[in-house]
């Protein structure tokens, strides 16, 4: 009655398109927007099982109505498709190639109920091969996934009332002391059509390797039959359908029927456990999926294989049987006689969600559901067959105190973000303004995000880059030091400036550049060391020790910027011919005094270039003499008809005087 009227009262808002009172209506919802200006809804990817639908649709409703985003719900397949989806693979449900690393941006942002350890290799490969976009694990949902054996609560209760024994503990199954079969149906009452034959080739009971392991770990040869033709072991089932554990093998009415599905999920484990723990059990494999799921309802006094969270047997309020604590070493050796371990059921998001919608990521990371919360939704959906939207909406209505603690404080910023005053439309350094709403926004370029601890807790603010630093990117957590050759004399810069001509900087993070030594300068902007400084044009550095002594060049010398005596002598500069000082054509200087220049009377005799260069075999200073017995013809020295002296004038003295 109360349930019914509650449902009716909810019909009104559902028709209007919202679940929550005051929820953001569809027409007012926004899309995510990425840095390229693409706009798309928050993508929630739903691997196809009940608990996954429950968790993901619940999250969808909050993302829509509390955070005001459009949501697209995409149906997935198994666990792995969810890994691919939030790792940006373009075709996550493809059986062959899911197309990882191909798209620009992932369109799937959230997967709840993700069994991270279900396929650890695939998960790790994604993390290693696509580190920039691989799914991010935001941690446990609040419960563990468990695969084990279960007994309906009523059966447990009956045993407890009758004898005060707790059948959820393995030790109350010890056949030396107890007779648990009193509380269960006898296998003789179970129609044979419900279970597979043990000899069925699709049953694990015919798997030789599994059966050999049973001998190795339990020594129970009597529980198997050996076919000498094929040298293969199979389970011994005297009635064809049930394998009996040693403690009830001689009298099957003392066995507790255990049913499982598939090829015999958990059969190997239960053979080890029932044998080593002295538990009287008859193990059977259901003939079909429907036989498996119906069996515990048709024969509720039974023991069955199951996993949680899952709605299949929820009405029976199944209680998990507790085995001896998990022994990892035994398990990895193949001995399955201790308890299996639960696995974390997690929340996965895309790597870019913290940029696109940090409050949504923050919310997902805060979600904490108990197994009871999950079971309540699963059971309600099963009982009413209403949609997941309606069922999760009902849960949201009746558990407001639970999910409201998952909604993050909007002023709790992530690294990369900073407090933003929506009233002033500007970044702010404090999160309290009674009149304006304070939220988080990505820090703009020229700033970085800095931790702020205030009376509420930790958050981040955007701080301008200091002098000597810059940051070209947004959402940065630090600024970069200016490189050598650069400086920045202002705060809040996106880039550093290059040192002007005549200046250089050989250190990182400079606020100013250093000046070149007196009367020297640089070739261009952004010089990175004092070595980039050199004498100005028409001067030459006559210091050869690495220091500077710039003197004017006399007539007859071409001295480009950064001329040095060394370059004049060698006729080469590491900067190229353009920057090599030279003796001009028609002039001459000696190797020993390269800056003392003579003007030659004949241009033909003095080609210029490096000091000491004469044409046509001439020698002496300045190219005034042919060798003995030769004479100058006007273009070269030739064998003698006497010789002419080439006229010259010493010019450097005059120039220096001038």
Ligand X SMILES: *[C@@H]1O[C@H](CO)[C@@H](O)[C@H](O)[C@H]1NC(C)=O
Binding site for ligand X (CB under 6 A): 26-27, 29-31, 36, 38, 70, 103-104, 171, 174, 176-177, 251, 253-254, 277-278, 379, 383, 423-424, 428, 433, 435-436
| β-bridge pairing 42-46 and 71-75 | parallel
> Measured from the CB of residue 26, what is the shortest distance to ligand X in angstroms?
4
Integer Rg of the chain from CA = 44
* 502 within 8 A of 531, measured Cβ to Cβ: no
Looking at the Cβ atoms of 278 and 493, the one nearer to ligand X is 278
- Tokens for 607, please give them: 């080609």
Looking at the Cβ atoms of 420 and 487, the one nearer to ligand X is 420
> Measured from the CB of residue 324, what is the shortest distance to ligand X in angstroms?
8
- Tokens for 143, please give them: 């419960």
> Measured from the CB of residue 299, what is the shortest distance to ligand X in angstroms?
19
> Measured from the CB of residue 382, what is the shortest distance to ligand X in angstroms?
8
Phi, psi dihedral angles at 4 (to 5 degrees): -65, -45
Neighbours of 600 (CB within 10 A): 26
> Measured from the CB of residue 392, what is the shortest distance to ligand X in angstroms?
15
Phi, psi dihedral angles at 570 (to 5 degrees): -85, -20
Q: How far is CA 650 from CA 56, 196, 586, 621, 658, in A?
A: 96, 119, 12, 10, 14
Coil, helix or strand for 136? strand
Coil, helix or strand for 580? coil
* 657 within 8 A of 552, measured Cβ to Cβ: no
> Measured from the CB of residue 266, what is the shortest distance to ligand X in angstroms?
19
Looking at the Cβ atoms of 252 and 412, the one nearer to ligand X is 252
Going by C-alpha positions, the residue among 500, 525, 497, 524 that lies closest to residue 510 is 497
Alpha helices in 25-111 (DSSP H): 50-65, 79-85
CA distance 253 to 282: 10
Looking at the Cβ atoms of 460 and 588, the one nearer to ligand X is 460
The residues pairing with 417 across neighbouring beta strands, listed in sequence order, are 442
Which burial class, exposed, middle or buried, applies to 324 when counting CB atoms under 10 A from its CB (0-12, 13-18, 19+)?
Answer: middle
- Tokens for 227, please give them: 């076919």
> Measured from the CB of residue 154, what is the shortest distance to ligand X in angstroms?
14
Looking at the Cβ atoms of 250 and 545, the one nearer to ligand X is 250
Long-range contacts of 25-29 (CB under 8 A, 24+ apart): 26/64, 26/70, 28/68, 29/64, 29/68, 29/69, 29/70
* 484 within 8 A of 529, measured Cβ to Cβ: yes
Looking at the Cβ atoms of 62 and 606, the one nearer to ligand X is 62
Q: Measured on CA atoms in the order 83, 87, 89, 91, is the torsion positive or negative? A: positive
> Measured from the CB of residue 457, what is the shortest distance to ligand X in angstroms?
19
> Measured from the CB of residue 159, what is the shortest distance to ligand X in angstroms?
16
Looking at the Cβ atoms of 290 and 383, the one nearer to ligand X is 383
> Measured from the CB of residue 460, what is the shortest distance to ligand X in angstroms?
17
- Tokens for 411, please give them: 């002023």
> Measured from the CB of residue 350, what is the shortest distance to ligand X in angstroms?
14
Looking at the Cβ atoms of 103 and 191, the one nearer to ligand X is 103
Q: How far is CA 378 from CA 52, 204, 346, 658, in A?
A: 10, 31, 18, 104
Counts of helices then strands in the chain (DSSP H, E): 16, 36
Looking at the Cβ atoms of 169 and 289, the one nearer to ligand X is 169
> Measured from the CB of residue 268, what is the shortest distance to ligand X in angstroms?
18
Looking at the Cβ atoms of 138 and 254, the one nearer to ligand X is 254
Looking at the Cβ atoms of 203 and 278, the one nearer to ligand X is 278
CA distance 490 to 509: 12
Looking at the Cβ atoms of 36 and 329, the one nearer to ligand X is 36
Looking at the Cβ atoms of 2 and 545, the one nearer to ligand X is 2
Alpha helices in 116-152 (DSSP H): 120-129
Helix (H) or strand (E) holding 375: helix 371-384
> Which residue reads 């790790």 in tokens?
124
> Measured from the CB of residue 311, what is the shortest distance to ligand X in angstroms?
11
Which burial class, exposed, middle or buried, applies to 639 when counting CB atoms under 10 A from its CB (0-12, 13-18, 19+)?
Answer: exposed
Looking at the Cβ atoms of 263 and 379, the one nearer to ligand X is 379
> Measured from the CB of residue 32, what is the shortest distance to ligand X in angstroms?
9
């Amino acid at each position: 009655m109360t349930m019914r009227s509650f449902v009716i009262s909810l019909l009104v808002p559902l028709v209007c398109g919202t679940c929550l009172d005051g929820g953001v209506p569809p027409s007012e919802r926004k899309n995510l927007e990425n840095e390229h200006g693409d706009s798309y809804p928050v993508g929630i990817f739903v691997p196809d099982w009940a608990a996954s639908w429950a968790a993901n649709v619940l999250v969808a409703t909050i993302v829509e109505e509390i955070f005001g985003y459009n949501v697209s719900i995409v149906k997935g397949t198994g666990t792995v498709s969810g890994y691919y989806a939030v790792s940006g693979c373009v075709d996550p449900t493809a059986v062959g190639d899911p197309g990882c690393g191909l798209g620009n941006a992932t369109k799937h942002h959230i997967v709840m109920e993700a069994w991270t350890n279900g396929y650890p290799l695939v998960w790790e490969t994604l993390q290693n091969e696509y580190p920039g976009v691989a799914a991010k694990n935001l941690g446990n949902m609040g419960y563990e996934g468990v695969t084990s054996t279960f007994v309906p609560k009523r059966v447990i209760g009956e045993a407890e009332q009758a004898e005060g024994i707790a059948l959820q503990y393995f030790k109350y199954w010890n056949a030396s002391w107890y007779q648990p079969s009193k509380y269960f149906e006898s296998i003789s009452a179970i129609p044979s059509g419900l279970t597979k034959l043990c000899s069925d080739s699709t049953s694990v009971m015919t798997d030789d390797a599994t059966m050999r392991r049973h001998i190795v770990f339990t020594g129970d040869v009597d529980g198997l039959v050996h076919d000498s033709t094929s040298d293969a072991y199979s389970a011994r089932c005297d009635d064809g359908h049930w394998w009996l554990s040693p403690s009830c093998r001689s009298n099957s009415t003392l066995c507790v029927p255990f049913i499982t599905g598939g090829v015999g999920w958990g059969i190997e484990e239960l053979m080890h456990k029932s044998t080593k723990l002295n538990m009287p059990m008859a193990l059977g494999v259901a003939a079909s999926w429907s036989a498996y799921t119906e069996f515990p309802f048709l024969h509720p006094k039974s023991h069955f294989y199951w996993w949680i969270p899952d709605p299949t047997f929820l009405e029976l309020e199944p209680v998990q049987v507790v085995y001896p604590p998990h022994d990892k070493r035994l398990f990895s050796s193949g001995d399955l006689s201790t308890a299996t371990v639960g696995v974390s059921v997690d929340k996965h998001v895309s790597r870019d969600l913290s940029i696109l919608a940090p409050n949504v990521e923050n919310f997902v990371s805060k979600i904490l559901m108990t197994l009871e919360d999950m079971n309540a939704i699963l059971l309600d959906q099963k009982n009413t067959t209403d949609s997941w939207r309606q069922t999760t909406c009902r849960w949201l209505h009746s558990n407001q105190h639970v999910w409201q603690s998952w909604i993050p404080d909007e002023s709790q910023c992530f690294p990369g973000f900073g407090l933003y005053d929506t009233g002033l439309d500007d970044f702010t350094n404090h999160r309290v303004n009674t009149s304006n709403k304070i939220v988080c926004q990505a820090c703009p370029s020229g700033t970085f995000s800095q931790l702020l601890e205030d009376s509420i807790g930790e958050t981040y603010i955007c701080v301008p880059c200091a002098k000597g630093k810059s940051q070209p990117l947004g959402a940065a957590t630090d600024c970069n030091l200016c490189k050598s050759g650069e400086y920045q004399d202002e705060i809040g810069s996106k880039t550093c400036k290059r040192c002007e001509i005549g200046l250089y900087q050989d250190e990182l993070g400079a606020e100013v550049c250093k000046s070149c030594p007196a009367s020297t300068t640089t070739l261009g902007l952004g010089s990175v060391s004092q070595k980039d400084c050199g004498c100005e044009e028409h001067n030459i550095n006559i210091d050869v020790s690495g220091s500077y002594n710039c003197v004017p060049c006399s007539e007859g010398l071409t001295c480009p910027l950064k001329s040095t005596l060394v370059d004049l002598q060698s006729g080469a500069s590491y900067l190229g011919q353009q920057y090599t000082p030279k003796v001009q054509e028609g002039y001459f200087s000696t190797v020993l005094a390269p800056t003392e220049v003579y003007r030659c009377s004949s241009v033909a005799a003095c080609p210029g270039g490096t000091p000491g260069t004469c044409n046509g075999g001439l020698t002496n200073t300045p190219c005034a003499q042919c060798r003995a017995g030769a004479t100058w013809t006007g273009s070269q020295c030739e064998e003698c008809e006497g010789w002419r002296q080439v006229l010259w004038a010493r010019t450097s003295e005059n120039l220096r005087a001038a």
